[in-house]
Structure formats: C-alpha cells, structure tokens
Chain A
C-alpha cells in the first residue's frame, strides 16, 4: 500500500504537535475546572460560607429578599443561592455530600428521602397551604365532563406533572376525603405545559395543574373542582432542609441562617412588589402574569399535626415506604407548631 509523501497534513509533525498540545490543554482545563468546583469551603475570610439550592418554580423569593435586604450580611453569613434540581427531592443528595448546606423542597420531596433513612432535617418552613390566599392550583376537568367531585375520579385517569409527589398525594387524599378509593385512580405524568391540552383533548379525564398553567387552564374553559392544596390548610409546601451532620456541627450558623430567612419572610409578606420583581428576574414566567396575580403568603411555621397526617396518609397510599418519626423530620431548633386538628 503505497502512500504519497505530498500534502500529508496528518503526517506533518508540526501540525500534529499543535493538535496534541491543544488536546492536552483542553483536558487539563477540564481537570482544573472539575477540581475547582468540588471544593466546599466552610469558611472564607472568617464568614461561614453557605450554599443554598433553591427550587425552580416559586416560593424561593424570601431567599433573594434576604440577600437583597442584607439580612445574610448582617448575620455574618456569606450565602450563595443556586438553582437546584428540577425535582427538588433530588436536592437531598447534594445536601448530604456537602455540595450545598441547605436546600429547598416540598413536604413529599423531603419525606421521600426521610423514608429512606437519609439523615436530613427540616430547618424552617417557607410556605404552607393556607386559606388566606386564593387557590393557585387544583383539579381541572372539561366543562362538560361527568366528573363533579373527587370521588368521581375512581377509574379515571388524572394527569399530573410528577408522580409520587405532593400533587399525587393531595389528589388521593381528597378522593379519600370525598368517600372514594384512591387506589382506583390512575395517575400519569405529563409535561406541565401539556396539562391543559391533555384535559381539553380528552387524553386524560382530568388534570391537576398549578401556577400560571392553572389560571391559563381556567381561562381556556376548563372547570375546576375543589380548592386544590388549600383544602388541606397547613400542608407544608416549601421548606428548607439540611443534613444532620451539618446541623450538629454548625448549629449556631444554621440558627442565624433561619433567622435571616424569617426576617425576609416578614418583609416579603409586607412588600409584594419586591417579591414580584424577584419573580420577573429569576423565573421565565411572563411579566403580565406576575403583575396580575397576588403573591404567595409566606410562613415559617411548620404545622406538625398536618404533617403527621400527610405522613400517615402517604404511607397508606403506598407513596412512602415507612413513616419517619418527628425527630427524624424536624431539626430541634426549627419553628414547629402544633396545629389544632
């Protein structure tokens, strides 16, 4: 096999050297980038360094308010807020391996990890379902649908944005409360943007939507049943949690952190405009929608009675493997309250 000696760009030693050098440089830069990110400093110039993973949808606004109003600085903390996993229950591993010190999730997201004996604890609430604000989520059906109550969902298909989470729980809970058998309801996961269309086109018999999609769905003619999560007031919708290891070693820092967040919560409830500004900056939700609707009501308190109901029921519905005890759920310095049943 003869090969000609001319124009052999692959043989040119100079070119080959350049290619090799480039390859090495790229690999090295990747290695250093990799190494740099993995460092989790606990102190930098004396101040404790904290990374918080926020949710991607909503409820995270108090964190940014605390940053903007200087509450973290006043408490002597160096806080970085990063967007966490799309499914917030998946923030738990990041908290456990030290990538972040605190993270947001909702009640079922937290319980998923707790039920597997992950050593995580809730440090403060951010928001719970409350009748103080209008419902921003709920069950939706076609106008002419034969479904008029949750009990009618037996044998029907309900579209939700993620299986096994808070939405599936609240649906099953409300079915049971209405006298139906939740195990007879079929749930399917759908992209949140497709929920409205799924109901209108009949692909599913009903959907459970939330946020801007809920309102858009109602506008497009779907009928809503019930008040969504407001039908279980006190159900925790947003929490901050941390790992037991971090909390036992840094309990003073953690306390300062949640106190700063509590101040931000008070501020947020008093200044909805600030909250709206944060939504416009950090979410992709259209501005007109943000202006047209009320902001959430934030509450740092954790209603342990309702949470216990949630835990028991989730276990009953096979959404949880076991029922973690209260001291496996809450940090001992978290603002817990016992609600009236």
Chain B
C-alpha cells in the first residue's frame, strides 16, 4: 500500500493517532457524563473542574506556578541524569568500585528522601535551590543504578573487541559503553521521571509558596476541591508532556535497539520535525554495538 503525495502523510498520521486516542477519548467521555450533575463534595462535575482550571490559568497565577515547577523538575532531572550517568558509567566499568559501592548504592536508593527535607531546607534555604536538590537526590538513584546494570549487561565480546582494536578509554566510553548501556539508562530515566514529579510536589510543601505542587497542596488543605482536581489534572498533563519528550528522545536514540530497519524507523517517526541526530549519534545508532 503506497498512496502518493499528501494523502499518504495525512493518512499515516491519522491512523496511528486514532488507534492511540480512542480509549482515552472514551474514558474522558465516560468521566464527563458520569460526573455531570454531581453534587458530591469531593467529586465535582468535570466541567466545573475544567472551568476552574481555565480561569486559574488565565487570571490566577497558575502559569507562573507551572513555569516555576517545570523549571525545577527539568533542572533536577538534568542534574540527576548528568551525575547518574557519569557516576554510573565509571562505577559500572571499574569492577572494584562497583563491587565496593554496590550495597551502599542499593541502600541509598532505598532510603526515603522525604526524611531529609529539614536538612535540605536548612542548608539550602527557601528558594528553588532546595527543591531542585531534593528532586535530584531522589531521581539520581534509578538512573545511576540502571546505568551500572546497563554497562554490566554489555556482552564481554564487545569489551574484547574494543580492547582488541585498542580503542582509547575516553572514546570507548563515549562510543561503545554509553550507547550500549543506553536502553537501560533511558529506562532508568523514565522511572526517575515519575519519582521526580512526586518529589516536585513534596518539595513544595515548604519554602516560598509558589509552584504547581504548592497550589495543589494548599487547595487541598483548604478544601477547595475543584482547584485541587484542576491542579492535579494539570500536573498529570505536565508529567505526560515530559514523558512524551523522553519518548521522542528514546525513539531517536534507540532505533537500532528496537530492531527497526532504517526505512521503517523513518516512517514510524512522529510527524513533528524529526530530531536531527548529531553525527556521533548517527554513527552509533547504525552502530556496531551488540
């Protein structure tokens, strides 16, 4: 089946979109209808919630709150990725380090970050700093641990080959180890994202009263139920948008992993302007690894 010209682009866009949208649309419709005349205090009509959301966005400070929280979560996650991947690559590669720190890292991952909030507030104050740090502290572990296990999962044959070709350490890390561990790393980042969204809300319990999480918590505690739901919906959208972005990155970087033929990869790519792979990434994505 190979329709020509613009019809092909339109159809290849709408068909998958339809397949993805029918279930959510159905759920949305059901929610809309079932809450329509609701007088329950805790489940206001969906229409009312959306109305409140709209008003708050336009006239309330919600956009500012949203921007503040978004900034914090992106910075926190970016920091966690950089530190997590960096440290993870090193730890994964150096066997002694990995074995020595193994239990410690597992232990650290298992401790509830929530308990450290007072210390963090004390040392870093009441601005964005402590919030970003809290998000970083909670999200770095899945990324780090997944990087380590990703590096470990690279078959020994690969290491042998790299050594056989006498590839220098730095280049080996960038071109062999990093791409090899990439699937696990990205899986770790996905997990870290959910943790980061939760921590974003927790981090806004204290400190200056700005932010989306703060909005939800304050609305909840003063029993402004419609606002609470509105904020919750918004945070769901925020989390979703971030994970879609992550998905796009994954698509671009991991075409070879999901074993899509190069042609198929191009067709499956979303209709938004395709992310331009840098020359390095293009080399590795057609890569020799595994």
Contacts and interface: CB of A to CB of B under 8 A. Distances in A.
Contacts of A290: none
21 contacts: A89-B221, A90-B221, A112-B223, A113-B223, A116-B224, A118-B41, A159-B126, A163-B218, A164-B222, A187-B209, A188-B126, A188-B209, A189-B207, A190-B121, A190-B126, A194-B122, A197-B122, A198-B121, A198-B122, A203-B122, A203-B125
A201 B122 contact: yes
Contacts of B121: 190-191, 194, 198
Chain B's interface size range is 10 to 19
B117 interface: yes
Contacts of A74: none
| 6 tightest A-B CB contacts, nearest first | A116-B223, A191-B118, A203-B125, A189-B206, A188-B126, A194-B118
User: Main secondary structure on chain A at its contact with chain B?
Assistant: mixed
B221 A118 contact: no
Contacts of A197: 122
Contacts of A89: 221-222
B275 interface: no
B202 interface: no
B234 interface: no
A118 B125 contact: no
Contacts of B122: 194, 197-198, 201, 203
Contacts of A203: 122, 125-126
Interface of A: 87, 89-90, 92, 112-113, 116, 118, 157, 159, 163-164, 186-191, 193-194, 197-198, 201, 203-204
A188 B223 contact: no
Interface string B212-224: 0000001001111
Contact of A190 (B41, B207, B218, B224): B207
B208 interface: yes
B221 A87 contact: yes
B205 interface: yes
A190 B130 CA distance: 12
A113 B206 CA distance: 22
Contact of A204 (B118, B126, B209): B126
Contacts of A116: 222-224
B118 A189 contact: no
Interface in B89-145: 117-118, 121-122, 125-126
